Amino acid sequence: MTRRPPGWLARPLLAALVVRLAALLLAPHVPVLGDATGYLFLARDLRDHGEFADLQGGVRPPLYPILVAPALDGDAGDAAAFPGVFLVQIAADLGALALLAGLTRRRFGTRAGEAAGWLHALLPTAALYAGTVVMAESCALLLTAASLAALDALDRALDGPPRGWAPWALLLGALLGLGLLVKELGALVAAALLLALLLRRGAGPARRLGAATLAALALLAVTAPWAWRNLERHGVPLITGSFGHLSVVVDNAPPGESGWLLLQQHETLASKVELSHELLRRELLEYPALTAERAGQRVRLLLGPEDMLPSWLAMGFDGYQADARSILALARDAWRLPPGLGRAVQIAAGLTTIALFSLAAAGMALAGAGTLRRAALLAALGLLLATALTVALSRYRLMLEPFALPFAGLALATLLDPAARAAMAPASVRGARRTGLLVALVLAVTVLLLPAP
């Protein structure tokens, strides 16, 4: 007999399902563009030929196409994704909600767990990426949520005997490896969680190093078959995809040079990866002023309004035509969309982004120091630095939602419960309020007020 989820979890789960199924009705009208085109090609080739093809620009991590390939139907072209691929994504998104709400409940209580569930259920970007576009975001959220739950269990067991914490360390590493096989940004998640583990207070350095080593070995074991395949086929042992390297080349070319032309001059994937490493070195040492200018633009993009998802909806429903010559051109063109569905989603996404991260900041102040908070701060810092030096899209910040949600749930539950506030030290409540308001002010300026870079 299957157990029903408890009421505190069932309510936000049901709401999330309804919202995502409603979003699913929009999916047939949303054009398949950019990354979605490549993902569908990979999934169709895997279904039809049982092989994992390479794209013209490089390789994508394999797990997302593997998960959605069985959900494709016999329709030709983009219609093959509807509704099966979206149902897989919705299931992954609901799984992420359950894991994050459960993690929040264990750490901060039932009220906070339910609040976290509702926040994720009603987050427009999470719902729309699950139900309207063919993207790996929902599966990446699920693996990040599972990794955070494993990190929390490891954190609680680390003061005990090795037989208690070693299995959790292995599970954490395996989940981080699966995250790398879903999306390149999984590398930032893995780095943040492993570093947070190494910096944990209380346990001795040998124990922390042992847990991190076990996790790293499990990560490498999970990604080893994919790395070996890339080494044999391309001469480079990639443990995830190569599109991060290609984006580095396209968006970080030296002054007066075209990243696209530089890519075309290198025929093999190994040489393109090496070129990306070379450009990262050169942008820091040879043209730092241009790099600083680009970094400022990218931080503005990362902290600005949602652009890609609302522009896709605007194309399908509002007759909008995006300027897609480059990521920066697309973002500038879609910074303030004309009135319509796309603009409404853009505004809703901006307001909920401000609410989520300001609540998370307040919750971090309330929670105090800990491994989860350290992991969240490291992930935010890593994403900020990585995008500033490579390439930025506003949708990349969705990666931080699993890190933010437990603390946002704590803050929201505290805000709605006078008894909980009264039980806390007044100085702690004041500090949390100030921290949340400061983050809200910064994001309100960057998301709602600043012009495009």
pLDDT of residue 282: 92
pLDDT of residue 193: 98
How is residue 398 annotated by DSSP?
G
CA–CA gap between residue 310 and residue 10 (Å, rounded): 29
The amino acid present at 210, given as its one-letter code, is G
Contact status, residue 183 vs residue 61, Cβ threshold 8 Å: yes
Contact 149, 113 (CB under 8 A): no
Q: Where does residue 237 rank: exposed (0-12), middle (13-18), buried (19+ CB within 10 A)?
A: middle
CA distance 313 to 341: 7
Torsion angle of the four alpha carbons 20, 175, 148, 59, in this order, in degrees rounded to the nearest 10? -60
Nearest Cα neighbor of 102 from 172, 149, 147 is 149
pLDDT tens for the chain, residues 1 to 453 = 456 678 889 999 999 999 999 999 999 999 888 888 889 999 998 988 888 888 877 899 999 999 999 999 877 667 888 999 999 999 999 999 999 999 999 999 999 999 999 999 999 999 999 999 999 999 999 999 999 999 999 999 998 887 889 999 999 999 999 999 999 999 999 999 999 999 998 778 889 999 999 999 999 999 999 999 999 999 999 999 998 888 888 888 899 888 888 888 888 899 999 999 999 999 999 999 999 999 999 999 999 999 989 999 999 999 998 776 777 888 888 999 999 999 999 999 999 999 999 999 999 999 989 999 999 999 999 999 999 999 888 999 999 999 999 999 999 999 988 887 877 888 888 899 999 999 999 999 999 999 998
8-state DSSP, 400? G
Torsion angle of C-alpha atoms 69, 72, 74, 76, degrees rounded to 10: -100
Model-level pTM?
0.95
Helix (H, G, I), strand (E, B) or coil at 432: helix
State in Å, rounded, how far the first CA of the chain is from the last one.
56
From start to end of 296-339, where are the E strands? none
- Angle of CA points 139, 144, 149, to nearest 5°: 125
Q: What is the pLDDT of residues 99-135, one digit of tens each?
A: 999 999 999 999 999 999 999 999 999 999 999 999 9
CA distance 266 to 272: 6
Nearest one of 114, 135, 107, 110 to 16, comparing CA atoms: 114
Distance CA 437, CA 430 (A): 11
Q: What's residue 3's pLDDT?
A: 65
Domain-by-domain residue ranges, the chain?
7-236+341-449
Side-chain half-sphere of 289: how many Cα atoms within 13 Å?
Answer: 1
Amino acid at 414: T
Give the side-chain half-sphere CA count within 13 A for 24.
17
Match 């940004």 to its residue by tokens.
Answer: 185
Alpha carbon dihedral 289, 290, 292, 296, in 10-degree steps, equals: 140
